[in-house]
Copies of this chain bind each other. A is one copy, B any other.
Amino acid sequence: MKVYLFLILLFCSGLCLSQKKKIIRKADFPTEFRMISDDILSKGKAYEQLRELTKKIGPRFSGSSNLTKAEDWAVQKLKESGATQVWKQAVPVKVWNRGKESLEIKIGNNSWKKINMTALGGSEGTAGQDLVGEILLVKNIEEFNKLNFADIKDKIIFFNVPFDQKIVNPVETYLEVGKYRWAIPANVSRRGAKAIITRSLTSAFDDVPHTGSMSYDTDDNNKIPALAIGAKSADELEEALKNKQKIIAKLNTTSTFGETKTNFNIIGEIPGNKDNNIIVVAAHLDSWDISEGAHDNGAGVVHCLEVLRAFKNLDIQNNHTIRVVLFTNEENGVTGGEVYAQQVKKKEEKHLFAIESDAGGFSPRGISLDMIPERRRQVFEWKSYFLPYGVYDFDQTYSGQDIQPLKKLDIPLAELVPDTQRYFDIHHTSEDTFDKVNRRELLLGAVTMAQIVYIIDKNW
């Protein structure tokens, strides 16, 4: 009697299990998308994981002890999320230490006034000495290029180039105005100026300074400090300069370059049931030194963990290997992305697709597709499945910074496109904190990531 009962129970539980798997296996994408969404919205751990990463660990700058802590945390979380294999991939990172930094200005005969500032990442410092010079406002790079050596010599060049508020998607104006951070300082440095002050890359009009990477030409023997000030300070400074007032700036920073250290890409995967071809789900674990990195890119990290967790929890029988790669050193070097791509090439691993989440934890609105037209068209055919989740925009053509090195291996790339309006208010600042992230928006981003990975796993 007992044996019969046991057999009946076994049969029933087998039925339930096989039914669950069956639903997942047949190509009823609306139903399967709904199951993924239900699971993540009701059982998702992304928000609590993000709280840990930002509040227990905090800033995770390349070469810092915090980033090492975050690496250990990520190994643990990947295992908890269901990765059956987790490993660390060594990556050399150039170390830059901010040290102390201050900026003061003196307008005419007024007394010195402190200005909120942040050195750009990778900037030369002043070795703790005061660097003093007159500020020269230059409207844009075209105007700068017309100046003579005598105009520039010993001046502190100040570019106050704001975001174009009229552009609906702030990413577009960031990519345009961004050159004043990542490219133009090298140009200014070669031409005899003493330092460069830039307006922070922001949609806001507050006084929060934004850092970000910059670099010099390798043959530049007279590298000068480069820093950013908040939009409000920038506008006030421009106003004072327009009133023909002579303004002197005093900059003092103790930033230094250190020895190259080793950080790690943290990788975890669920092997494929059909083959070992790989689908990469990516984000970067590092952040700027001055920031908790909640949106940039803690949100991306927990999106990736959530994809694995949902696949495991729903017992999705993935055809291909689903591999999460949490890259290191995205903010100031992208050596994590480069090392990963080199290893893919060396090991001749076949990658079917790679998607990164590196634009914040806001409500998802689309998926940017950086791939050949034939692949784009295939994704376009699935648009209607995403619409109930507020995801409608498949027209963008960029992809994540860390997975970009995979492009030369002809791998179809993508990036999650969340709502972008709030992102550049906090990007690369001390304001990019956990409280700026909304739980449901964060989870919905993970839903989109899991859904696109799911449908590609079933079709490619």
Contact = CB atoms under 8 A, between A and B. Distances in A.
Interface in A149-170: 165-166, 168, 170
Contacts of A425: 438
A115 to B, nearest CB: 23
A42 B440 contact: no
A29 to B, nearest CB: 16
Interface in A23-42: 37-38, 41-42
A233 to B, nearest CB: 18
A438 to B, nearest CB: 5
A425 B440 CA distance: 10
A168 B421 contact: no
Contacts of A428: none
Interface in A420-460: 421-422, 425, 438-441, 444
Chain A, interface residues (CB within 8 Å), range: 20 to 34
A170 B440 CA distance: 10
A389 interface: yes
A223 interface: no
A365 interface: yes
A99 interface: no
Contact of A440 (B41, B421, B439): B421
A207 B421 CA distance: 28
A203 interface: yes
A392 interface: yes
Given A203-B440, A390-B365, A166 B419 contact: no
A389 B393 CA distance: 11
Contacts of A441: 421-422
A363 interface: yes
Contacts of A166: 37-38, 41-42
Contacts of A205: 439
Contacts of A422: 438, 440-441
Q: Assembly of this chain: how many copies?
A: 2
A203 B170 CA distance: 28
Interface string A44-72: 00000000000000000000000000000
Interface in A200-230: 203-205
Interface string A233-254: 0000000000000000000000
A14 interface: no
Contacts of A258: none
A34 to B, nearest CB: 9
A128 interface: no
Contact of A165 (B41, B390, B392, B393): B41
A421 B363 contact: yes
A388 interface: yes
Nearest to A392: B392
A334 to B, nearest CB: 29
A276 B42 CA distance: 52
B438 A37 contact: no
Given A422-B441, A438-B422, A440-B421, A390 B168 contact: yes
A390 B392 CA distance: 9
A42 B388 CA distance: 32
A363 B421 CA distance: 8
Contacts of A392: 392
Contact of A168 (B37, B165, B419, B438): B37
A165 to B, nearest CB: 5
A203 B388 CA distance: 19
A451 to B, nearest CB: 12
Given A37-B166, A392-B392, A419-B419, 11 more contacts: A165-B440, A168-B389, A170-B440, A203-B440, A204-B439, A205-B439, A365-B390, A390-B419, A421-B438, A421-B440, A425-B438
Sorted nearest first, the 10 A-B pairs with minimum C-beta distance are A421-B440, A38-B166, A392-B392, A421-B441, A41-B165, A42-B165, A41-B166, A422-B438, A363-B419, A42-B166
28 contacts: A37-B166, A37-B168, A38-B166, A41-B165, A41-B166, A41-B168, A42-B165, A42-B166, A165-B440, A168-B388, A168-B390, A168-B444, A170-B440, A203-B439, A204-B439, A363-B419, A363-B421, A365-B390, A390-B393, A390-B419, A392-B392, A419-B419, A421-B438, A421-B440, A421-B441, A421-B444, A422-B438, A422-B441
